[in-house]
Structure formats: C-alpha cells, structure tokens
Amino acid sequence: MSDEKIEVENEDMVTPENEADMAPDAEDAVDARIEELEQELETAKQDVLYAHAETQNVRRRLEKELGDARAYASTAFARDILSVADNLSRALEAIPADLREDEKFKGLVAGLDATGRELETVFGRHGIEKVVALGEVLDPNLHQAMVEIPSDDAEPGTIVQEMQAGYRIKERLLRPALVGVAKKPD
C-alpha cells in the first residue's frame, strides 16, 4: 500500500521524463508558483533580518539601562549623605587656629580631619566628585547663582564665592554649587 502511495506522489512530481508531456499552462503555473515561493522566501529572510536587528537593539538598550542603574543606584543615598559632608566641612572650618594647636583638642581635630578625608575617599571610590566653582565662569548646568557681588578684580559672570559645594556622580549632577557671581561695580 505504501508503494502505491509513493508511485502516485511521484506521478505528480515534475521530472525530466514527464516535463515534455506537461501543457504550457501547467508550466506557467509551476513557474508562477516558484516565483511566488521565491518572493515568500525573500520576505521571510527580510523579516528574520529585521527581527535579529530589533533583538540586538533591545539587548543594547537593556545593557545600557543596566549599566546606568548600576552606576547611579546610589544617587539618592549620595544626595542624603552630602548634608553630612557639608556639616563636617563647616565644623572643620569653624575650628579656630589656636584650638587646633591646643593639646586638649588636637586629638579631636585630627579625628575630624581624618573623617573628612575618609569621606572624600569614599566619595571618590563611588564616582562622586565636587563641582569646581571658584574662579570659573558661571555654568547654569553646574552652578546656581545666589547673589551678584560687585568686583573690580574678577570679570562679570565669574564665580567669586562658593556658599555650598556642588557635586556630581559620574556624569550626572547631584546638586549644583550655590555661588556668588562677580558683577561690575556701580
């Protein structure tokens, strides 16, 4: 029974022996079918290429988002810890020179200095750095002008006072530096 089925199937196939017996209409139908299948194959190849390109684009986008998430995951914590750094810095600046030399306070001052250095080291390890402000031209992307200060020594628009340090994490700004900008005297 399976031999008969094979023979029937073989009779329908186009072979060199039965090709001459085919009518021209049948030959045109076969050519049209072949052309149609070639078109479908070309369309399928294009679809596969587009799907592959889209997959690569999604992969790249996800890798970038993952990298950004890793790099900037500590942003909220960093913003919170900046107030601690500010207070420590103000405390160190407020210590008078005579107390720095006093034997009773030397240990305390040395401890505070060491804590400040350690905090800066930790910031550096995590890509957190201070924004340079004093002497620079005001950059609204990095600095926030709080006051204008008349000055003969500095060009207008130059930062002459820093009220609060600005910080960035990697390429993003954590907070702008609060600054005073020079202006021409009246």
For the chain, the average pLDDT equals 85
Between 16-20, 67-71, 131-135, 165-169, the lowest mean confidence (pLDDT) is in 16-20
Domain extent at residue 26: 2-69
Residue 149 has pLDDT above 70, yes or no: yes
Which residues touch 109 (CB under 8 Å, ≥6 apart)?
95, 99, 100
Last residue of a domain, one of 26, 48, 69: 69
| Banded pLDDT at 6 (limits 50, 70, 90) | very low
Last residue of a domain, one of 69, 86, 115: 69
Residues 7 and 62 in one domain: yes
**pLDDT (average), residues 132-160:** 90
Which residues touch 135 (CB under 8 Å, ≥6 apart)?
158, 159
Determine which helix (DSSP H) or strand (DSSP E) holds 180, and give its type and residue range. strand 177-183
Region class of 135: left (phi > 0), else alpha (psi between -120 and 50), else beta: left
Tell me which residue has tokens 């998430």: 69
Residues 26 and 13 in one domain: yes
Backbone angles phi, psi at 20, to 5 degrees: -65, -30
Last residue of a domain, one of 26, 43, 69: 69
Determine which helix (DSSP H) or strand (DSSP E) holds 42, and give its type and residue range. helix 24-72
Residues 87 and 137 in one domain: no
Residue 8 has pLDDT above 50, yes or no: no
Region class of 157: left (phi > 0), else alpha (psi between -120 and 50), else beta: left
| Banded pLDDT at 1 (limits 50, 70, 90) | very low
- Looking at residue 152, the DSSP 8-state letter turns out to be S
Residues 65 and 114 in one domain: no
For residues 75 and 122, the model is more confident at 122
